[in-house]
Structure 1
Amino acid sequence: MALNRLFASLTITPSLITRRSIHVTAINFASHPDIMKPKPGLGKSYRRIVHFPDQYTVKPLEVTNLAGRDPESGRVVAKGIGGGIKHKYHWIDWVRDGPTEGPPQEEKVIQVMEDGCRTAHIALVAVGAKLKYILATENMKAGDIIKSSRHLPRIPVRANEGDAYVLGALPAGTIVHCVEKVPGQGGLFIHAAGTCGTILRKQDDRVIVQMPSKRMFSLDQHCMAVVGRLSNIDHGTTPIGSPQRNRWLGNRPRSGLWQRKSGRHGRKIKPPKPVKEITAAAKGALPAVRMTMCP
């Protein structure tokens, strides 16, 4: 297949094909591979590959750092990624399930820890004989009891931080995270550290939720959401501190991209504009009015 594409890219006639023309064409073809550049929102990561097992486990998973390269061709696709400390990956159970009738399911927080593969902290939770990881909330600590339920009551419930209920069961003004897009699919929205959404109002069987970006989504009232704000609030305001720590985080240097005076993305410093003199308009004589009897 690649050979056919190579010959198809030749711009000369078959009678004039020589060894040199094939060599030059092959070099040009290898220098410009057909690689799809990543686009925002598609969810494809060129930072690492996580080796997931067949069944869910709380055992830390092995990862392979890609350093911004395409896993198939090995060529650099994302130029801002490179190096970084290799962290173990903790598998998050995004589905907070619970009973549809009766009292909610109780879960106990065993441990709250940091995770190098995401910004928010994670919590190890015990549900009966099962262990799983979830995203930790702002004030979550070991020993807390959290609840999960898919029951849609007639009167809104008074939920505590870390509890998971359907959107229709929570009152307006509640801050939430890990909101489902489709009921039963698992928490898809609001995963970053220190972020949260707000339930604004209800319209029939829909619930309006405002995201951290101030955009409002109308979701089904049976979508699950976790109450509270995500942990590690100071993540966005903590300075990196040194260029070496930035390399530990897996970010390549970007010197020269921004300059205040003459840079491509910089703010151009220009001299102030001259004083603009503003005067009142001169009053002239009013135009003469000629009265006639014709309409």
Structure 2
Amino acid sequence: MNAKFIMIMLDAIFGINAVYAQTNLKTQLRVKDSLLFDAVLKTCDLKQVEATFAADFQYSQDKGDGKASNLTSRTEFVGNIARRCAVKTAQFQVRRELVAGSDAASLVAPDYATQSGIQRFYLSAGVQPEALVEESHFTRIWKLQKGDWQISREMDYQIATHDPQEAAAKNDPLYKQVTAADSSLFAAYNQRNITEFKKWFARNLEFYHDKGGLSHYTDNMENFEKHFQDAANFSRRELVQGSQQVYPLNGYGALEIGVHRFYTSLNCKEQLTATANFINVWHQENGRWQLARVISYDHR
């Protein structure tokens, strides 16, 4: 058995293991999701509810009504559920449905994972037929705590369409602003302009990376500055056309989802070195856009 054959076999085995791990993670989070909504809407099991949320949990919801949405803390969020359970009656029933095939999950660090999908909420009142009252896109960051996955962040956006391109509404001012910000950010990256590059990141930056884990503003800016100063370490970013989606976060900014590629130069010849998915949370303040949260995952 030669060395090349062994390497091929190892690549195949690790590839199968990676697919299995990803599928297993998706199943685990789907089960946790189901248990959470059973506890919230059916059994009112507040112990189960509390066990699902990390101590630093924060929630943001855009209802599409033009009203500003604020971050909700764990204490307030669980308290709202408790108050709803206290006045729950048999006359009004709420059912939540995870749209089949819409959910995705990915490990972004050993102790962090992202989950996204589309959910629908139905209300039945007395003898009236069940009616769809909300459809929304959710994005969560899960944190592994003592062997158990807990939700650390959740952002919900009410949607009116299943078509990502229609949801993005390319002719919408928000889409144009966010895509322009993305373009300017990575123009600075490709040009190695560290001064301009730094301007696009908020000081409270949280950067989740499936290879590097969680990092913050200072560490990232120091690493990028070293990267830019190394003339031999050329890198160029390219956005995959058609992959970009933008959703409003009313009162805060916007959510950007997409796929990008990174190229390096070897012997004066450019070559593709990585393709990855990304989720960016942009904060707008006084007309200025900055990245507050970055999730970079599924590097391949």
- Using structure 2 for the length normalisation, give the TM-score: 0.22
Structure with the greater alpha carbon radius of gyration: 1
Structure with higher helix content: 2
Task: Give me the TM-score of the superposition, normalised by structure 1.
Answer: 0.22
